[in-house]
Amino acid sequence: MIIVTNRIQVKPGFAARMAPNFTKPGPLQQFEGFHKVEVLISTDDPTYDEMSVNMYWESKEHFQAWRNSDAFAAAHHRPSSGSEGEKTDSPMIGSKIVVAELASSIEALRS
């Protein structure tokens, strides 16, 4: 299993409003090899909020198939400059993608 984390820095106060956009029902849920998405928010730095969008995939190949799909392109489509509905000032400051293989984990004991 791999975990793909998109670490997104946004202007303070925006992370909580943006987080639900990453967990809306859609084509991703039916993609082969997809397990789940989790969104974590850190507000430790007063100059920005950081979202860690964690996507759990069976393999890198499954993730790459998603990245190369029409569904991915549609999910990440933004209005072109000058078009109706354009966002005038994006809250996004920057982002970084980290791909990691799950090496070890432990779960709680249940009685």
CATH number for the domain harbouring residue 21: 3.30.70.100
- 61 domain residue, yes or no: yes
- 6 domain residue, yes or no: yes
pLDDT tens across 1-35, in order? 999 999 999 999 999 999 999 999 999 999 999 99
18: amino acid identity, one letter: M
Mean pLDDT of 44-48: 96
- 82 domain residue, yes or no: no
What pLDDT is attached to residue 35? 98
**Number of structural domains in the chain:** 1
H runs (alpha helix) in 3-103: 15-18, 60-67, 70-75
Contact by Cβ (8 Å): 35, 56: yes
H runs (alpha helix) in 13-111: 15-18, 60-67, 70-75
Mean pLDDT of 101-105: 96
- 110 domain residue, yes or no: no
Whole-number Å distance between alpha carbons of 76 and 91: 16
- 108 domain residue, yes or no: no
Closest-CA residue to 16 (of 67, 47, 51): 51
Q: Which structural domain, as residue segments, surrounds residue 39?
A: 2-77+90-101
* Structure-derived torsion over alpha carbons of residues 61, 64, 66, 72, reported in degrees to the nearest 10: 180
Q: What percent of the chain has pLDDT over 70?
A: 90
- If DSSP codes are grouped into helix, strand and coil, which group holds residue 29? helix
- 83 domain residue, yes or no: no
Q: Is residue 83 over pLDDT 60?
A: no
- 7 domain residue, yes or no: yes
52 forms beta bridges with 7, 40
What is the value of pTM for the model shown? 0.84
- 64 domain residue, yes or no: yes
